[in-house]
Amino acid sequence: MSWLSKFFKFREKSDGDIVKPFLDHMEDLRWTIVKMIVVQVIMMVISFYYRHDLMDMLRAPLYKVDPSLPDQLIITTIAGSFLISLELAFFAGIAMAFPFHVYFVSQFVLPALTRKERKLLLPGIFGAFVLFLGGVAIAYRWILPSTIGFFFHDALAAHLKVMWTWNDYFSFSAWLCFGFGLLCELPVIVILLGALGIVDFRFLSKTRPFAYVIILILAAVIAPTPDPLTFVALSVPIVILYEACIWIVWLIGRRRDRRRELEDEDMQD
């Protein structure tokens, strides 16, 4: 519990206009978790109701690879279809509840921001949600079909009969799409760290090569295929977004320095 105490002391010493004791912070944490669970359950119930439509959407990339491939998916357990529906509802519920989760966490972690800084909270949440959905859509539309196609044709070239299970296909496609969606959250994290003054343009510039290596490694892990087109489609957009973030942090730092100069001039006057 000592690290929690240090964390909440840090929050209580902030420059914002909200100051709470430790126990009140713990109560806020409890209600934050409760709200996230409630929203997640509601979105899962809605997603489970439309599970057949979601499964049809999940089949769509397979038609691009081979029209007969969706009908070849099998289940190997009696309750397999129901369990797959629950997993699908869980992931779809996360996607639908994502902006609410980010908002609840932001309410808890960033209560000490000034009123002016809080105005940036909703645009930041909206930007994070758009980037997440954009990453999932790109992976679903282009990366997943090409990756599935590579493994499918590789199996045919080896004269192997393809008998994929629904569970394996769902796990592979869900983690690929969600992994790419989370990877697209990198710009939001970098900009947030820059706005809080934790990182600056000089630091990001020096660590740029290491960041690119990490991005390429994550891209290779998310889409484990030697197909160069899939690898490029997965890594290049993230690299471009990260590079754009470096210059956005530069603008943030420049505005911060300019504001400090004006404040110093006013104090001297």
Q: In whole angstroms, what is the distance from residue 16 CA to residue 248 CA? A: 24
pTM: predicted TM-score of the whole model, two decimal places = 0.70
pLDDT at 227: 62
As given in the structure block, the two tokens for residue 2 are 């000592």
Backbone conformation region of residue 223, classed left if phi is above 0, alpha if psi is from -120 to 50, else beta: beta
Q: In whole angstroms, what is the distance from residue 4 CA to residue 25 CA? A: 10
**Residues, the chain:** 269
Q: Report which residue type is found at 180.
A: F
Q: In whole angstroms, what is the distance from residue 231 CA to residue 220 CA? A: 7
Chain segment 78-135, per-residue pLDDT in tens: 888 888 899 889 988 988 888 888 778 777 766 655 665 666 666 777 777 888 888 8
Chain segment 62-83, per-residue pLDDT in tens: 988 888 888 888 888 888 888 8
User: Long-range contact list for 255-262, CB < 8 A, 24+ apart?
Assistant: 256/197
The ranges of the chain with pLDDT < 70 are 1-25, 109-122, 196, 222-230, 233, 263-269
**Cα distance from N-terminal residue to C-terminal residue, the chain:** 48
